[in-house]
Amino acid sequence: MGSFYEKYGGEETISKVVDYFYGLVLADDTVNHFFKNTDMEKQRKHQTKFISYALGGPNQYTGQSMAKAHEGMNLQPVHFDAIVNHLRAALTHFGVSQSDIADALSKVEALREDILYK
């Protein structure tokens, strides 16, 4: 069957998921303030490469470690959970199966300790 990345159409599809995901994130007052000074075009490209790699695509991610990227943000569980819920909604919107969503979110969940309270 190939990786999740191949199964759902590679980076082109992931890019659409990321665009939809950030639409949800930027509409959510729980987390949108974290992005108020962010170049969202750059952020979308960066996140597309990161998510592509996390889901079995090629490693084109050249960003900082998760801990370094979130340093000084003091993200709390409520923020992490909001992001996870928006990612779940975006993947659902694009017809990803529930089992594949669960697999993808387990990979995201593994990053929790590297992201929170930094």
Q: Where are the domains of the chain?
A: 4-115
For 2-44, write each residue's pLDDT tens digit.
Answer: 788 888 899 999 999 999 999 999 999 999 999 999 999 999 9
Q: Residue 44 is encoded by which pair of tokens?
A: 């979308």
Residue 70, annotated ligand binder? yes
As a whole number, the mean pLDDT across the chain is 91
Residue 86, annotated ligand binder? no
In Å, how far are 12, 59, 79, 113 from 86, measured between CA atoms? 19, 24, 11, 19
Residue 52 has pLDDT above 60, yes or no: yes
Question: In terms of CATH architecture, what is 4-115?
Answer: Orthogonal Bundle (1.10)
Residue 1 has pLDDT above 70, yes or no: no
Q: What average pLDDT does the segment 70-76 reach?
A: 95
Tell me which of 82 and 108 has the higher pLDDT: 82
